């Protein structure tokens, strides 16, 4: 008999080999073992999720999660031989590899020897991601399906919204997989199987529109899994030429009563999937420009989501005018992170792209925000100004950054300039950088050399 994590890992490799060589014998062995587990269930039940069982030497051992990934965990061993016996190379539905029942999601992976595809669902049972052999389909709460795929031939990443017909076909494929394993879902079965492609594509789309007056068009990457509440619509300025997020709406704000009703509807819409969403993000563009009317809105968020912290966008010119004590007041009401679209340390760049404010103002503003205990995201637009302003943009931005009191919980986001129809108003030479990837690397290295956390903010990846 072998004992210890290492030995169990080695013996389980043997199990995998054995599985492939003689499935029938293995299946019988598994059934025997599973019966034994059930007998000892009282003892082992707290260990099941992270336990690797070796059917060869019939010993259990507790291994950490990293070690168990991709190895025959208990759940894999319970299902794989049974499913494999009904599948073959040509089967449309792949054998079940593993079911992970996490507190805030269910992840079901399929594959013969390694996970080749998976479906992740929230606790309301809605699919979040379906990965099918290199193609990743992400579902937005508005019912749309977005594909992400890197072409092996030219390494370019495909990103697009699927048509309704394409989305239906993909969802039907995903649900064929789920249908095949429904018996193994046990207590999660009702939750996972309550949706159909049609419900997700049509009913949820309508519900989303009832809850959100306008689409959620952008968030900072750390907020993609927040609960988004629309306190305002659009942006008070709405004239920056690189930004097309709010061109479909004129700025308006919700009053306290309408906001309260909206929050109630968002909470009902998200339902059990709320467990996946850790914080609250106040949208749209520059909610924090509101001033006093913001206070009852923050109190409402506190009432409905007492455990969650609040984040929002802030623009330089509106933030700069606020008294430093104002930020303390907001922090006491639950605000914890603000994202500032600084874009550049160069005034020339801001003027080219019609963005108000002076980069220098960021220094005092961010000092005030940090003194109030807030976390800060600072966003730069890499590639803005093209070749003619490349050095000025970089030099002035690093100069401003070096004077900011950023801490470990702050993030410097580097956002590559993405072309849109608005940019047609700007000289194309100032919006194109032929070696944008190399330029991004240079910015990353410099931000890290300043001791800050740098992160990519590709607006094409955004999804809510």
Interface residues toward ligand SF4, by CB under 6 A? 235, 237-240, 243, 245, 285, 315, 341, 355
Q: Which is nearer to ligand SF4, 243 or 349 (CB)?
A: 243
Q: Which is nearer to ligand SF4, 238 or 402 (CB)?
A: 238
Least Cβ distance, residue 338 to ligand SF4 (angstroms) = 13
Least Cβ distance, residue 379 to ligand SF4 (angstroms) = 9
Least Cβ distance, residue 235 to ligand SF4 (angstroms) = 3
Q: Which is nearer to ligand SF4, 96 or 378 (CB)?
A: 378
Q: Which is nearer to ligand SF4, 136 or 236 (CB)?
A: 236
Least Cβ distance, residue 357 to ligand SF4 (angstroms) = 9
Q: Which is nearer to ligand SF4, 167 or 216 (CB)?
A: 216
Least Cβ distance, residue 312 to ligand SF4 (angstroms) = 12
Q: Which is nearer to ligand SF4, 104 or 238 (CB)?
A: 238
* C-alpha to C-alpha distance for 245 and 251, rounded to whole angstroms: 12
- The CB-based long-range contact list for 179-187 (8 Å cut-off, 24+ gap) reads 180/83, 180/93, 180/96, 181/79, 181/83, 181/96, 181/99, 181/108, 184/78, 184/79, 184/96, 184/99, 185/99, 185/106, 185/108
Q: Which is nearer to ligand SF4, 41 or 239 (CB)?
A: 239
Least Cβ distance, residue 461 to ligand SF4 (angstroms) = 18
Least Cβ distance, residue 234 to ligand SF4 (angstroms) = 8
SS (H, E, C) the chain: CCCCHHHHHHHHHHHHHHHHHCHHHHHHHHHHHHHHHHHCHHHHCCCHHHEEEECCCCEEEECCHHHHCCCCEHHHHHHHHHHHCCCCCCCCCCCEEEEEECCCEEEEEECCCCCCEEEEEECCCCEEEEEECCEEEEECCCCCEEEEEECCCCCCEEEEECCHHHHHHHHHHHHHHHHHCHHHHHHHHHHHHCCCHHHHHHHHHHHHHHHCCCCCCCCCHHHCCCEEEECEECCCCCCCCCCCCCCCCCCEECCHHHHHHHHHHHHHHHHHHHHHCCCEEEECCCHHHCCCCHHHHHHHHHHHCCCCCEEEEECHHHHHCCCHHHHHHHHHCCEEEEEEEEECCCHHHHHHCCCCCCCCHHHHHHHHHHHCCCEEEEEEEECCCHHHHHHHHHHHHHHHHHCCCCCCCCEEEEEECCCCHHHHHCCHHHCCCCCHHHHHHHHHHHHHHCCCCEEECCHHHCCC
Q: Which is nearer to ligand SF4, 50 or 238 (CB)?
A: 238
Least Cβ distance, residue 98 to ligand SF4 (angstroms) = 42
Least Cβ distance, residue 221 to ligand SF4 (angstroms) = 16
Least Cβ distance, residue 383 to ligand SF4 (angstroms) = 15
Phi (first) and psi of residue 370, to 5 degrees: -70, -40
Q: Which is nearer to ligand SF4, 192 or 216 (CB)?
A: 216
């Amino acid at each position: 008999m072998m004992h210890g994590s290492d030995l169990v890992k080695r013996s389980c490799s043997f199990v995998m080999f054995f599985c492939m060589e003689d499935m029938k014998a293995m299946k019988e062995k598994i059934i025997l073992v599973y019966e034994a587990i059930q007998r000892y269930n009282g003892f082992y039940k707290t260990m099941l999720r992270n336990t690797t069982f070796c059917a060869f030497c019939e010993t259990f051992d507790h291994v950490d999660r990293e070690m168990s990934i991709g190895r025959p965990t208990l759940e894999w061993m319970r299902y794989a031989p049974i499913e494999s016996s009904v599948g073959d190379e040509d089967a449309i539905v792949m054998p079940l590899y593993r079911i992970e029942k996490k507190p805030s999601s269910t992840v079901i992976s399929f594959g013969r020897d390694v996970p080749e595809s998976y479906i992740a669902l929230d606790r309301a049972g809605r699919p979040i991601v379906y990965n099918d052999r290199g193609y990743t389909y992400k579902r937005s709460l508005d019912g749309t399906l977005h594909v992400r795929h890197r072409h092996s031939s030219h390494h370019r990443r495909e990103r697009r919204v699927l048509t309704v017909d394409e989305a239906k076909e993909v969802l039907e494929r995903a649900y064929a997989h789920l249908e095949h394993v429904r018996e193994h879902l046990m207590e999660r079965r009702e939750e996972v199987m309550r949706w159909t492609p049609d419900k997700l594509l049509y009913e949820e789309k309508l519900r989303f529109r009832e809850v959100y007056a306008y689409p959620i068009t952008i968030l900072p990457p750390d907020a993609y899994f927040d609960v988004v509440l629309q306190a305002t619509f659009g942006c008070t300025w709405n004239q920056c030429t690189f930004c097309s997020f709010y061109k479909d709406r004129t700025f308006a704000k919700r009053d306290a009563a309408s906001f309260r009703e909206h929050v109630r509807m968002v909470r009902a819409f998200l339902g059990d999937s709320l467990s996946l969403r850790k914080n609250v993000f106040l949208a749209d563009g520059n909610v924090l420009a509101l001033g006093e009317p913001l206070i009852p809105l923050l109190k409402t968020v506190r009432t409905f989501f007492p455990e969650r912290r609040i984040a929002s966008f802030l623009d330089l010119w509106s933030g700069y005018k606020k008294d430093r004590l104002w930020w303390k007041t907001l922090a006491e009401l639950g605000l914890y992170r603000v994202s500032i679209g600084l874009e550049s340390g160069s005034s020339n760049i801001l003027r080219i792209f019609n963005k108000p404010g002076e980069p220098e103002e960021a220094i005092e503003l961010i000092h005030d925000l940090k003194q109030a205990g807030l976390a800060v995201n600072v966003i730069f637009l890499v590639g803005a100004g093209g070749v003619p302003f490349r050095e000025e943009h970089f030099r002035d931005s690093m100069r401003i950054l070096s004077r900011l009191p950023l801490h470990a919980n702050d993030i410097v986001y580097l956002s590559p300039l993405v072309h849109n129809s608005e940019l047609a108003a700007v000289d194309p030479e100032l919006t194109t950088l032929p070696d944008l990837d190399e330029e991004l690397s240079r910015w990353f290295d410099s931000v890290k050399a300043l001791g800050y956390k740098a992160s990519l903010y590709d607006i094409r990846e955004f999804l809510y």
